[in-house]
Structure formats: structure tokens, C-alpha cells
């Protein structure tokens, strides 16, 4: 993909920047730069209202095809949207999982009925989703999923039993997409199915997990014969692994450019403080700031390169390095932030546990190299799937 943008693209950039300046104020002013990683617990109801505000302006589903209710924007315009959204301080998206993951997956694999029933609620900002993948014994080893689903006596509902963990914003979600084992006796990636499950039922219990940041946007989710209609299975029984992997491919889509602009906002804050407190005069810290700046540019160019491939959820070789690259960079930024703060990093803003923005950044980035596939797993993926090296020896059952 070319790095530059056309005059029409730049006009579009001015349009979204102008819309954000006009709408991200008044009741939404407090949301600027809030709700990102480590801060996702903040202002949930106001951020849901912001999703509806975005929808009213036609700024949801900008990359979805028009037949699915989206705007069908080009890749370059999608890049511009995500960059300008983050540059303006747009809050963390409550609808990200629905719009960025569920929507493209339903467009690619869902039935016409599923698309008709579920896509509008995502687009208009009235229905929110969470992800039911990880389990206590199946984090990075996703194929070890033990949550099970069976048909009830009528054959009309799947009954789901099991536990999911690290489920972002499950307490705010209306729906969860669940990877569950529907074939008794199956193992590995065989016998898994992809189910869409309504969250508002007595058979589902959501329990928050408090983190070292003091927040609890992650949850454990317990399913005790939870019900979902057979019409809510995406694909056929046993096709869950294929669909789950495609969804993870969509996760590495164009919104990665927005993520990087959020990183830029954090780096800008580190630089601002370094200038204010004199840390920028330390040659070693200046060198680390320069490396952080250059590393973020490398992430951007690699993202543009990987977006030049197909947009069907398949992962090009370039995309397979992205999680390892950004998580390592971001974790280093957290350490840089603490060193720039100096002794101030050890002092809380207030009782009992009032963290400032950079303290929260540091603590949250300790998890970056673990969630979403640990760095060790990412290196295996790169070696085996991108480079074609022999698979790592695995213990026999």
C-alpha cells in the first residue's frame, strides 16, 4: 500500500476531524482520551451514548460493505478515520468487539438471517459484544477449550456449560461469541463450534477480576446450561476453529492504525512530561524516547503493508509479527514512562489508590505480552506458520 494519501483522502481527513471537534464536546467532553487499555472501566454509559452519536453521524461500520449497512470506505479512508478519531482523543470504543470482530465475521460466515438480526444493533450502537475464547486452562492454547454445548431435548437450543476468563467488558455486553466443544470426546481444534449467546439470562454469571491497576474491565464468565437458539450457531457444527481463527485475523485489521495513534498519544504525554520535569536533558532517556518514536513508525509502516493483502480474516506473513511487535514496544513504553517520571512514579495522586495516567499505563502494559496470545506463542506462530519451520515438539496425550 502507498504511504501517501490523495487530495480526496485529505478532504475526508478534514471531514472526520471537523466532525470530531464538533461532537466530542459538551456531554462527551469528559470522554477525551479515556476508555483505552487499562481505562476501559471508565464512563461506560456515556461511552455507549457516544456509540449512538457516532452511528447518527454515519461513523460506525465505515469499512463494512454497503450491503451490510456500512459505508464501504476504501482502506486508505478507513486508516484516516481511525487515525483522526484517536488524534482527536476519541474514547475507547464500547462497540469495538462488535464492529471490529463480530460484524466482519458474520459478513464472511454468518447466515442471511444472522446478518439481518444482529448487524443493525452493532451499527446503531445499541447492542454490545464480548469474546468468549480464553479459559483457565486454555489461554494461549485456545485449542484446549473445555466449555461444552449440547442440544436440548427439543433440538431447538444449545445448552452451554463451562467457564471463560479475561472477558473484556462482559458486564456491559448484551451478547458473547463463544467457542465451545459440541462433539463429545473431541480434542484439539476438532469438534469446536462458534455460538452467539445472549448474556442477559440467569444461567450466566459474570464475576469481575480486579487487576493491579485497581480496575476490573476483565471478567470471569460462568455458563450453567446457558441457552442459545440453534439459529445462533455461525457455520456448521465443528467449524468453530476455522471461524475463530478468521475472527482473530479481522482483529489485525485497519483498526490497528487507531491503536497506534493511541500509542502516539501516550508517547506524546511521556515527551511532554520529560520536557516539563527536565528528564529530556538526560541523554539516555532522550535516546530511549527516540527509539520509541522510531519503533512506532515501524509499526505503522508494517501495518500499512499487511493491510495491502486480502481482507477476509486470513493472516498474511506480515500480519503474524504484529502482536509480538506492538506488545513488546508498548511494554517498553510503560517502563520509559516510569523512568521519565522519576521518583514521582512511586507516589500516588491520592488515596486509596489513585493512579496517574502514566502509572496506569505502566501497570497495564505488564500484561501486553501475555493476553491475546503470549509472546512465546506468537514466536511459535511466526516460526511455524510464517517461516514454515518444524512444529515445536508437543507432549503426547
pLDDT tens digits, residue range 69-80? 999 998 889 989
Number of helices (H), then strands (E), in the chain: 12, 8
Task: Give the pLDDT confidence of 225-250 residue by residue, as tens digits.
Answer: 999 999 999 999 999 999 999 998 88
Residues 97 and 251 sit within 8 Å (Cβ to Cβ): no
Task: Give the pLDDT confidence of 165-199 residue by residue, as tens digits.
Answer: 999 999 999 999 999 999 999 999 999 999 999 99
Instruction: Identify any residues that bridge with 98 across adjacent strands, giving them in sequence order.
Output: none
| For residue 371, pLDDT beyond 90 | no
Query: Left (φ > 0), alpha (ψ -120 to 50) or beta: where does 45 sit?
Result: alpha
Q: What pTM does this model have?
A: 0.89
Q: ω before 348 within 30° of 0 (cis)? A: no
Torsion of CA 22, 26, 28, 33, to 10 degrees: 80
CB atoms under 10 Å from CB of 347, counted, come to 9
Q: How high is the pLDDT of residue 289?
A: 98
Residue 75 and residue 105: Cα distance in Å, rounded? Answer: 18
Residue 396 burial by CB count (10 A; 0-12/13-18/19+): exposed, middle or buried? Answer: exposed
Q: Catalytic residue positions? A: 251
Q: How high is the pLDDT of residue 392?
A: 76
Residues 348 and 282 sit within 8 Å (Cβ to Cβ): no
Residues 246 and 307 sit within 8 Å (Cβ to Cβ): no
CATH number of the domain located at residue range(s) 129-238 in this protein:
2.40.110.10
Average pLDDT over residues 349-375: 91
Domain with CATH 1.20.140.10 in the chain: 252-387
Q: How high is the pLDDT of residue 306?
A: 77
CATH number for 7-93 (one of 3.30.70.260, 3.40.50.720, 1.10.540.10, 3.90.1200.10): it is 1.10.540.10
Phi and psi torsions of 2, nearest 5°? -70, 150
Residues 62 and 90 sit within 8 Å (Cβ to Cβ): no
Domain with CATH 1.10.540.10 in the chain: 7-93
| 5 confidence band (pLDDT: 50, 70, 90) | confident
| For residue 151, pLDDT beyond 60 | yes
Residue 283 burial by CB count (10 A; 0-12/13-18/19+): exposed, middle or buried? Answer: exposed
Name which CATH class applies to 252-387: mainly alpha
Average pLDDT over residues 135-141: 83
Amino acid at each position: 500500500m502507498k504511504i501517501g494519501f490523495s487530495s480526496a483522502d485529505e478532504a475526508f481527513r478534514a471531514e472526520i476531524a471537523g466532525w470530531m471537534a464538533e461532537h466530542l464536546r459538551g456531554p462527551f467532553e469528559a470522554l477525551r482520551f479515556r476508555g483505552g487499555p487499562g481505562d476501559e472501566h471508565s464512563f461506560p454509559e456515556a461511552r455507549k451514548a457516544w456509540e449512538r452519536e457516532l452511528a447518527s453521524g454515519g461513523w460506525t461500520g465505515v469499512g463494512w460493505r454497503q450491503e451490510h449497512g456500512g459505508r464501504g470506505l476504501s482502506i486508505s479512508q478507513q486508516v484516516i478515520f481511525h487515525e483522526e478519531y484517536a488524534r482527536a482523543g476519541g474514547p475507547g470504543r464500547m462497540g469495538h468487539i462488535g464492529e471490529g470482530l463480530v460484524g466482519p465475521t458474520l459478513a464472511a460466515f454468518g447466515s442471511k438471517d444472522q446478518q439481518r438480526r444482529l448487524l443493525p444493533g452493532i451499527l446503531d450502537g445499541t447492542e454490545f459484544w464480548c469474546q468468549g475464547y480464553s479459559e483457565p486452562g486454555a489461554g494461549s492454547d485456545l485449542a484446549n477449550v473445555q466449555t461444552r454445548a449440547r442440544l436440548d431435548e427439543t433440538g431447538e437450543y444449545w445448552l452451554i456449560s463451562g467457564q471463560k476468563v479475561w472477558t473484556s467488558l462482559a458486564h456491559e455486553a448484551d451478547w458473547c461469541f463463544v467457542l465451545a466443544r459440541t462433539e463429545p470426546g473431541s480434542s484439539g481444534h476438532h469438534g469446536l463450534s462458534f455460538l452467539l449467546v445472549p448474556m442477559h439470562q440467569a444461567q450466566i454469571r459474570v464475576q469481575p477480576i480486579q487487576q493491579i491497576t485497581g480496575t476490573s474491565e476483565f471478567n470471569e464468565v460462568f455458563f450453567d446450561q446457558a441457552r442459545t437458539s440453534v439459529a445462533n450457531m455461525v457455520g456448521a457444527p465443528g467449524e468453530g476453529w476455522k471461524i475463530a481463527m478468521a475472527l482473530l485475523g479481522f482483529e489485525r485489521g485497519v483498526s490497528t492504525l487507531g491503536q497506534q495513534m493511541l500509542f502516539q498519544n501516550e508517547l506524546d504525554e511521556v515527551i511532554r512530561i520529560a520536557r516539563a520535569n527536565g528528564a529530556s536533558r538526560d541523554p539516555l532517556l532522550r535516546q530511549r524516547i527516540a527509539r520509541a518514536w522510531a519503533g512506532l513508525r515501524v509499526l505503522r509502516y508494517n501495518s500499512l503493508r499487511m493491510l495491502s493483502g486480502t481482507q477476509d480474516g486470513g493472516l498474511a506473513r506480515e500480519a503474524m509479527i504484529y502482536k509480538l511487535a506492538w506488545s513488546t514496544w508498548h511494554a517498553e513504553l510503560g517502563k520509559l514512562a516510569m523512568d521519565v517520571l522519576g521518583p514521582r512514579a512511586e507516589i500516588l495522586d491520592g488515596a486509596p489508590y489513585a493512579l496517574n495516567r502514566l502509572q496506569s499505563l505502566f501497570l497495564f502494559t505488564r500484561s501486553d505480552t501475555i493476553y491475546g496470545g503470549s509472546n512465546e506463542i506468537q514466536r511459535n506462530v511466526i516460526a511455524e506458520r510464517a517461516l514454515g519451520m518444524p512444529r515445536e515438539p508437543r507432549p503426547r496425550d
